[in-house]
């Protein structure tokens, strides 16, 4: 329980750091640390597949992509940010934690606990047969992302 709480607190702290840090590189590393902790939490909660994907893809692959991009684009383009963000975000965050704590306290015990088994079935079954329509949806999201990238970073035609 103590370890679990520590992991959760660490997750929240690194997530907040990822938003607040001005240095993109540090921000990306904080995000990687947060997802590493999340992966460990998944393992401890009997969801090894989710844990493996979280650590390999989110903490590993995506962080590498972020760092590569940051390294290639170079620093020096400071974006001016509104000062309001500096105090609005912590304020909203604290309010969220308070409301969350109050709601969860009153909910605890009212939510019927589900039996917590390990992820059932072979890896292939979980990835393929256990899936629903969301599989098609996720292909569509990837398509949407690619087309959005193509559209937003396109060169305008000469006659435009």
Partner 1 sequence: MIILFVVLPLIVAGLLPLVGKVSRRVLPDLLANATLLFLLVYAAVAGRALIAGGPVLQQAAWLGEAVNLRLALDGFSLLMLVAVSLVGLAASLFSIDYMEHYGAKANYYALYLVMVAGMNGLVLATDLFSVYVFLEVAAVASYALVAYGLGSDELEAAFKYLMLSVVASAFLLAAIAVVFGMTGSLEFAAVAAALKELNAGAVIGIASACFLLGFGLKAALVPFHAWLPDAHPSAPAPISAVLSGLLIKVSGVYAMTRIFLNVFGLTPALSTVLMVLGAVSMVVAAFLALGQKDMKRMLAYSSISQVGLVVLGIGIGTPLGIAGGLFHLFNHALAKGLLFLTSGSVQQATGTRDLDAMGGLAKRMPVTAATSLIGSLSIAGVPPLNGFWSKLIIIVALVQAGHPVFAVVAVLASVLTLWYYLLIQRKAFFGKLDEKWAAVKEAPFWMTVATVLLALLCVGIGILFASTVTTWIQPAADVLADGVHAVTGSWGF
Distances in Å between the Cα of 132 and the Cα atoms of 90, 120, 126, 137, 145 are: 38, 16, 11, 9, 21
Is residue 105 involved in binding partner 1 (CB under 8 A)? no
Query: Does 78 sit near partner 1 (CB under 8 A)?
Result: no
| CA-closest candidate to residue 36, choices 20, 13, 19 | 13
- # of chain residues touching partner 1 (CB under 8 A): 33
CB of 145 to partner 1, least distance (A): 6
Contact region for partner 1 (CB under 8 A) — 10-18, 44-52, 65-73, 132-140?
Answer: 132-140
Q: Which residue's entry shows tokens 């992991």?
A: 7
How far apart (Å, rounded) are the C-alpha atoms in residues 60 and 35? 9
- Is residue 80 a contact residue for partner 1 (CB under 8 A)? no
Binding region for partner 1 (CB under 8 A)? 103, 106-107, 110-112, 114, 128-141, 143-145, 147-148, 150-152, 154, 156-157, 160
């Amino acid at each position: 329980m103590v370890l679990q709480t520590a992991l959760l607190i660490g997750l929240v702290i690194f997530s907040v750091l990822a938003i607040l840090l001005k240095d993109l590189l540090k921000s990306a590393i904080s995000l990687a640390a947060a997802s590493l902790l999340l992966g460990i939490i998944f393992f401890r909660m009997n969801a090894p597949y989710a844990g493996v994907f979280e650590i390999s893809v989110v903490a590993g692959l995506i962080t590498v992509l972020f760092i590569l991009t940051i390294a290639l684009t170079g620093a020096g383009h400071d974006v001016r940010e509104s000062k309001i963000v500096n105090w609005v975000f912590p304020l909203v965050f604290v309010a969220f934690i308070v409301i969350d704590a109050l709601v969860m306290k009153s909910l605890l015990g009212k939510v019927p606990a589900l039996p917590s088994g390990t992820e059932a079935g072979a890896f292939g079954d979980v990835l393929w047969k256990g899936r629903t329509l969301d599989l098609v949806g996720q292909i569509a999201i990837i398509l949407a992302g690619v087309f959005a990238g193509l559209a937003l970073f396109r060169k305008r035609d000469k006659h435009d």
